[in-house]
Copies of this chain bind each other. A is one copy, B any other.
Amino acid sequence: MPLPQTEVPGRLQAELMSRGLRMTHQRRTILSVVETAKQHLDASQILRQARRLDPGIDRVTVYRTLGLLKRHGLIDELDLMHMQGEKHFYERRPQRDHIHMACLRCGKIAEFESDLFDRLKGQIQRECRFHIVVSRLEVGGYCAECRASN
């Protein structure tokens, strides 16, 4: 049993169950990893974390579960400017979208919420008559520390 039964189901798990999807041990484990992540994780990091809870989990199950969560709009997929390889990163979809800033020197990722961003998405929906399902704004550049220290 990977998770103690006392574990509260978590929002992701509750959301998937309410949509009538089967809840397996593997899914519960992967969901808990995604849900409690403190940073953006790629698929292999999610696999490693999941295996600490349930060593038998296969990477194909991680990919399939990430695909499921994506299709249901429960997580967002990020590129983070593909600074090291072509891998993708994941995070729980937040209540309010945010912008990702990737420092090209130190690699740090910062997040930023902005009313202007919300207004811009509103403008796109209105003026382009385009119904937005998912949006991703990523910028690459240099953070304050790196600009100062060089």
Contacts and interface: CB of A to CB of B under 8 A. Distances in A.
A139 interface: yes
Contact of A134 (B86, B99, B139): B139
A107 interface: no
Contacts of A86: 86
A63 interface: no
A147 interface: yes
Contact of A133 (B110, B127, B141): B141
23 contacts: A86-B86, A101-B130, A103-B130, A110-B130, A112-B127, A114-B124, A116-B123, A117-B120, A124-B139, A129-B144, A129-B147, A130-B141, A130-B142, A130-B143, A130-B144, A131-B142, A133-B139, A133-B142, A134-B141, A135-B139, A136-B137, A136-B139, A137-B137
Given A101-B128, A112-B128, 4 more contacts: A79-B79, A104-B133, A110-B130, A130-B143
